[in-house]
Each structure stands twice: as structure tokens, then as C-alpha cells.
Amino acid sequence: MINWGIIGCGNVTEQKSGPAFNKVTGSRLVAVMRRNKDLAEDYARRHNVPRYYSDADELINDNEVNAVYIATPPGSHAEYAIRTLRAGKPVYIEKPMAANYRECVMINEAAEKAGLPVYVAYYRRTLPGFLLIKNLIEAGEIGRPLFANFQIYNYPSEAEKSGDLPWRVIPEISGAGHFFDLGSHQLDFLDYIFGPVKKVSSLAVNQAGMYDAEDFVAASFLFANNITATGIWSFASSREANRDYFEIAGDKGIIKTSTFTYAPIVVVNSSGTKEFANERPENIQFYLIEQIVKALSQGGDVVSTGETAARTSRVMDEVVREYYGRRYDRTDHKPGSILV
């Protein structure tokens, strides 16, 4: 039985992940931790969790807990992950894996030293709709893949407008701005279907002036076989411009869908147009957690690991490198350089 403890039982654990730990066979959630003890107790009561803590070390050292899910903001991922690994327990970490690539390396080095696995919550690698996209490409439905294109246009929240900034736009906590939170899912999925990024070209700026982090990113990526991808991420657009678009084009067709709204998956080729449903599970991390529990209990592979997630963080660092300059100079290569 994999007995989980959660460090940081915030919003992401309410439905996306937390309940799945008790739904997966051979898994149960036995303890949670939040710095605010009252909030930790409230979460435990509502989710029928036996124990709650306000100190992370107490949860990590709980003898019944044999795996830890870290769901705090990225700025503390490395600290908690390394402490957990040193205590002899595997970790499952919310995405992005850490605030920057260097911290990802630190986590992976600690895992190698402890002989323990690290998993990261890039769950699109296990979602039916995104696996369908991968299968359609592999089946030749669009011929030879040529390029992918992302467009995310979001409008500022009322909190951002008022100056009550969420942690996602505070680089010291999140690593950068909303791009790290949303773009990481998209870049990781491309890594899954096309392999590691080889080269990055990018522009990151702040257009609205509501916070220090970037609020606009335009970037291009080169993969093996000269497959390319481009993306625009705007977080200062109008409500009317709101957009979530994702396409993959090949020399014989195109796949169109979205990343976050679970729009139908549309395939257009010489045979015509086909449309497929894009399922969103009730607990969106269920399939990945199920895979992790099976690997920990019986052995086997997991599609999202510390190694794959670190690659995504390395690419994101490259995208925002020029914007942040030396203050957030977190990789060991020059802008636009070959990454692998």
C-alpha cells in the first residue's frame, strides 16, 4: 500500500489531485500538511484524512507515510523534495518541477544519491485526449509532422489589477510569470511527442505594468527532424480576446484543439474532417497517480519523471533568460544555444 502525505494542501489538491490518492487501487492519503494548522485541519476533515500537520518535517517523518506529494508553489519544491528524499521517501512534485532548472538538477542529484524516483505532475502525458493526439500523429493521420502552434490570450485578474498579486506572478515564488504555470504544460507535452527541444528563440516583455514578471512571451522551438513549434502567451489581453488554441500541422493534414478548455480534437486531412471528444477526468491527475502507484508497488515506467520535467524547466528558463538577465540566470548556456 502506498500511503501518501501531501505538503501544501491548496487549491490544486481539492479536486485535481487530492481525491485521486484514495481512488487509485493500492493507494491512500494518510496525512496532509499546511503551514496554517487550522486550514490543514479543515482539509483533513473535509477529505477524511487521518492526520494533519503544520510542520513539513513532521509529515515527512511520519512512519506511516511512504511517499510524499509536494503541492506548494514552485519556490519551495526543491527544499521539500530534497528533505523528503533524504528521509528515504519518493516524491511526486507539482509542476513546474521547481522554480528553475538548477533546482531541478539539485532534486535529481538528491534522488540519485538516495536511489529513489522523482515524479512530476505533467499529467497531460496520461490524459485520453492528449494520448489520442499522440496516437493520431504516430498513425500518420497528418503525415510527417511539421510544426505546432500555441496561442494563449488571458486577461488580468481583479487581484492583479488591484495590486494584490497572486504567487504565480511573483518570480521569487513561481520562477517567473503565468508562462511558467501554463506554458510548462504545453512545452512538456511537445517534449513527450517530439522529444527534447534543441534550440530556443524568444521574446519576453511586460506590457501592462501590473507586476515585475513578464506578461507576454513569444517563442519558437526546434525539435529533431526539423519539427518546429511557435507559441504566443499573453496575460494582459482583453476579456474579448480570450483564446486557447493548439494545432499540430503535418504535410498531409492538421490537428486542432485546445490545451486547457478540452475542446474537441479535430483532424483535417484528405479523407475529410473527423472530430473526437476530449475527455476531462473528474480528478485530472488520476491516470498519472495510478501509473505512479503501480510503479512504486510493482515496478514499471512512469511517463513524467524528474528527468523529463527538468528538460521542460531548462527550456522555460531559456525562454525568459534575456528578460530576467543575470538575476535569474539559471542555466549554463547562452540564449538560443543548442540545448541537447
**Whole-angstrom Cα distance, residue 64 to residue 27?**
12
Whether residues 177 and 321 share a domain: the answer is: yes
pLDDT at 340 (0 to 100): 44
* Domain-embedded: residue 334: no
Which pLDDT score, from 0 to 100, does residue 338 have?
Answer: 42
**What stretches of the chain adopt beta strand conformation (E)?**
2-7, 27-33, 51-53, 67-70, 91-93, 118-120, 145-153, 199-205, 216-222, 228-234, 243-250, 253-257, 265-269, 272-276
Contact 105, 318 (CB under 8 A): no
pTM of the model: 0.94
Res 335: pLDDT? 44
- 3-class DSSP assignment, residue 264: coil
Query: What is the pLDDT at residue 330?
Result: 52
Does 51 share its domain with 94?
yes
- In tens digits, what is the pLDDT along the chain, a chain of 340 residues? 999 999 999 999 999 999 999 999 999 999 999 999 999 999 999 999 999 999 999 999 999 999 999 999 999 999 999 999 999 999 999 999 999 999 999 999 999 999 999 999 999 999 999 999 999 999 999 999 999 999 999 999 999 999 999 999 999 999 999 999 999 999 999 999 999 999 999 999 999 999 999 999 999 999 999 999 999 999 999 999 999 999 999 999 999 999 999 999 999 999 999 999 998 999 999 999 999 999 999 999 999 999 999 999 999 999 999 999 855 555 554 444 444 4
**pLDDT number for residue 328:** 52
Q: Would you state the pLDDT for residue 337?
A: 44
Q: Is residue 336 part of a domain?
A: no
Show the domain range for 224: 127-283+314-328
Q: 9 with 119, same domain? A: yes
Q: CA-CA distance, 1 to 177, in Å (whole number)?
A: 38
From CA 330, how far away is CA 318, in angstroms rounded?
8
pLDDT of 333 reads: 44
Give the integer Cα–Cα distance in Å for 246 and 316.
Answer: 18
Q: What is the pLDDT of residue 326?
A: 54
The reply to whether 323 and 301 lie within a common domain is: no
Residues 66 and 94 in one domain: yes
Q: Label residue 163 exposed, middle or buried (CB < 10 Å: 0-12, 13-18, 19+).
A: exposed
